[in-house]
Structure 1
């Protein structure tokens, strides 16, 4: 099996939880380098990796062919550009960049260099996202008329992470953080909208970056989709509400991969590593072929973030399609940028 040597630009939560475990367990990858500016925490689990004190030093390592840009979003553009100029293929953590202009420049540079740029949109591999996608493809709901996708939390006190909560730093706040997931999901389901209206602000106060957003998306076929997130949500909502002219789907957000990984779970290559659900996590209510109502409690099948890295490997070795290529994710950034403009100007933005 061809071995792909990878380097991580940081070893914080993202590196420890979402990237290193999968790279280590996938037989096609080898973690060749990890950037830790002062510590050496990675040595315990990844002793084979060379520790570098800066991204710039790691990029000089000729063995590293794939670089994961998993630093704060405000640095994505800088490090991604340096990695591409050093001849490295790259994976950029979401959100891709802080604005459309940076995203477009990086995609153009990657194309000029003949390198690939993928954005780590891991929520495409969540069980709940995939369940909704499955039901939509089955067509049981008919023509979709209205949808709502939420990503809520109950985090009423500051985290202390300046790159996420400082309102003076572009790219901070929930819109770029959780919004990067919701925007990506709605485009995967329904395509690119025609226009939008957004309300983005901070419930904790103006001294903090936005922690609430509501985005109303308008589609040419009269479909309306609402994306919403709040950090003042103690009781869970259905994360997905999809309504068509033949029925409705209510789907909970039940993917537990992040929690399991944080708790120390080791992902398994080649098979599911998450346990099946013990209870149903959705309701499908629709008219069947005989126009009779069927109301079913549904259970989503396990998601697997390993599938993302498997697709990356298959792209490198076999030339298969690249997962979430940068050129595609530019559309996400367009919606995020337009949501900020809509909030500032208080009007509908044509996309």
Structure 2
């Protein structure tokens, strides 16, 4: 859409994600206009008008698709709806951003990617935690080879305590709910950016400990093994009263450890994402293996606003898209392979789910 001065955006669903996250960021992104909000609830439509007086409101998805002035659809809807809604929007000549997780299975992902190719429209996934301060710091530590030439072991944890406050997220993994897909979509994406080597096998155990929500996972442990011999452990938990480090990476020279969660979401919910500041007490450390010396690594500032600013630059000025949906297919495959492994209690060859053998560079 190069040549246009702005992009009209319709937000689909106006719950927590639609209102507190996507609308907050979109309203602060030059070139993107909150043109409309779709919500089945009259109360939420009224809230959207209070928050954004100039926006239109839609009761149905069909109304959004039939409006020629909608250029970009942002899916803040439940994961189980992403595939159908994305495909329909793309076929209606709309660009699409889906919240994470992109979808439930590789087969759904392939339907979405095919629709994007056929339509020639943008399909991107809201992987905002690529711009977490801790993750940016991890990438800097690795780029500077502070841990050595190769990182042999990577442990990433995303943990909370208790069920989600969003009712639909407390159904089942099969329906696209639960911590594995909710938190795991971020954790797997970060892992796949840290280590882009081909994956050989996946092994996982998924626990379900909530009697009030028997289909919801309480803790998932995923072992990701790479063809070069390195290993990653992902720990996704809703029963962690005292969370472990978010990142624990070891190489032949040193180990990096980082506690705490990026502060941007709390600042955004409070009304101003730009006010986010991490406590210096949560800074990561690099521990030297030989000397045992501990070096404090200040956390780089995170900036979730980069995601939608890049979407605007891509659509208005032809900039390279930072998170094309094609990148996310590997994430979806890791999560699907983990579920398959846990179901059958066996190691799963990654190519069995991913569908291709990754090239070893």
TM-score, shorter chain, exceeding 0.5: yes
Shift of 1:160: 6.5
The equivalent of 1:70 in structure 2 is 76
Tell me the residue number matched to 1:35: 38
Give runs of aligned pairs for residues 79-228 of structure 1, distance below 5 A: 79-142=85-148, 143-155=150-162, 159=165, 161=167, 163-167=168-172, 169-191=174-196, 192-205=198-211, 207-228=214-235
CA-to-aligned-CA distance 1:254-304 (integer Å, 9 cap, x gap): 311111111222x45xxxx433534352111236xxx76642112202211
Structure 1 residues 5 and 237: CA distance shift in structure 2, 3 A: same
Give the TM-score normalised by structure 2: 0.90
- The residue number in structure 1 matching 2:347 is 348
Contact residue 277 and residue 299 of structure 1 kept, 8 A: no
1:312 partnered with 2:315: no
- Aligned pairs, how many? 341
- Pairwise CA distance, 1:168: 7.7
Tell me if 1:236 matches 2:243.
yes
Match of 2:355 in 1: none
Deviation at 1:169, TM superposition (A): 4.7
Does residue 7 in structure 1 map to residue 10 in structure 2?
yes
Residue 326 of structure 1: aligned partner: 325
Equivalence map 1:285-304=2 (5 Å): 285-286=287-288, 294-304=293-303
Between 55-64 and 112-121, the greater mean CA deviation after superposition: 55-64
Query: What secondary structure does 2:224 align onto?
Result: strand
Q: Name whichever structure is richer in helix by fraction.
A: 2
Separation in structure 1 between the aligned mates of residue 291 and residue 342 of structure 2, nearest angstrom: 44
Question: Residues 227-264 of structure 1: CA distance to partner in whole angstroms, max 9, x if unpaired?
Answer: 00221211132110000001110012331111111122
Residue 284 (structure 1) aligned to one of 283, 286, 308? 286
Determine the C-alpha separation between the residues in 2 that align with 1:75 and 1:68: 12
What's the TM-score once normalised by structure 1's chain length? 0.92
Q: Distance in 2 between matches of 1:240 and 1:19?
A: 26
Name the SS of the counterpart of 1:260 in structure 2: helix
In structure 1, the partner of 2:359 is none
Check the 8 A contact 2:173/2:181 in 1, yes or no.
no
- Partner-residue secondary structure (3-state), 2:9: strand
* 3-state secondary structure, aligned to 1:199: strand
Structure 2: how far apart are the matches of 1:286 and 1:278?
21
CA contact (8 A) 1:254 1:281 kept: no
1:182 shift after superposition: 0.9
Contact 1:276-1:301 within 8 A present in 2 as well: no
Q: Deviations over 1:83-106 (max 9, x none)?
A: 111100000000001111011111
Q: Is the 8 A contact 1:196 1:339 kept in 2?
A: yes
**1:80 alignment partner, SS class:** helix
In structure 2, distance between residues paired with 1:164 and 1:26: 28
CA RMSD of the aligned region, Å?
Answer: 1.8
Whole-angstrom CA distance in 1 between matches of 2:253 and 2:160: 32
Is the CA contact (8 Å cut-off) linking 2:30 and 2:309 kept in structure 1? no
